[in-house]
Amino acid sequence: MKSDVFNQYVDRVSELYNIEKKNLFSKSKKRELVDARHLIYYLSAKRPMQIIYIQKFMEENGYKVGHSSVIHGINSIQNKVNEDRDYLSIIKDIDKAVFI
């Protein structure tokens, strides 16, 4: 069930950022890809999903990520939410679109 939620978040975030899923799981450090991955970490963690599961689902899609990188991504998005309330409305829209 958690993998279904994770995959729905991936779908919504890739649509939002207009990124192909294969690029989302590439090793690229382009800002839009990094931000999209961070948003997936944040949404998954808020579900709540343990970090170990987030790592597992990322790796299943071909992107190996460390524990501290996931935590950094979650904190990065939390800071953006605190600074820009528009970001919070985007997150709420994505959350509403995810079923289960």
Spell out the residues 6+ positions from residue 88 whose beta carbon is closer than 8 angstroms to its own: 81
- The dotted CATH code for 2-97 is 1.10.1750.10
Cα dihedral: 11, 7, 92, 83 (round 10): -80
Longest Cα pair distance anywhere in the chain, in angstroms? 33
pTM assigned to the model: 0.94
pLDDT for position 18: 95
Mean residue pLDDT across the chain: 94
Encode pLDDT of 35-82 as tens digits: 999 999 999 999 999 999 999 999 999 999 999 999 999 999 999 999
Q: Domain limits of the chain? A: 2-97
Q: What is the Cα–Cα distance from 16 to 19, expressed in whole angstroms?
A: 8
SS (H, E, C) 2-22: HHHHHHHHHHHHHHHHCCCHH
Q: What is the Cα–Cα distance from 94 to 77, expressed in whole angstroms?
A: 14
C-beta separation of 57 from 6 below 8 A:
yes
Q: What is the Cα–Cα distance from 49 to 17, expressed in whole angstroms?
A: 22
Q: Which two tokens stand for residue 39?
A: 């948003």
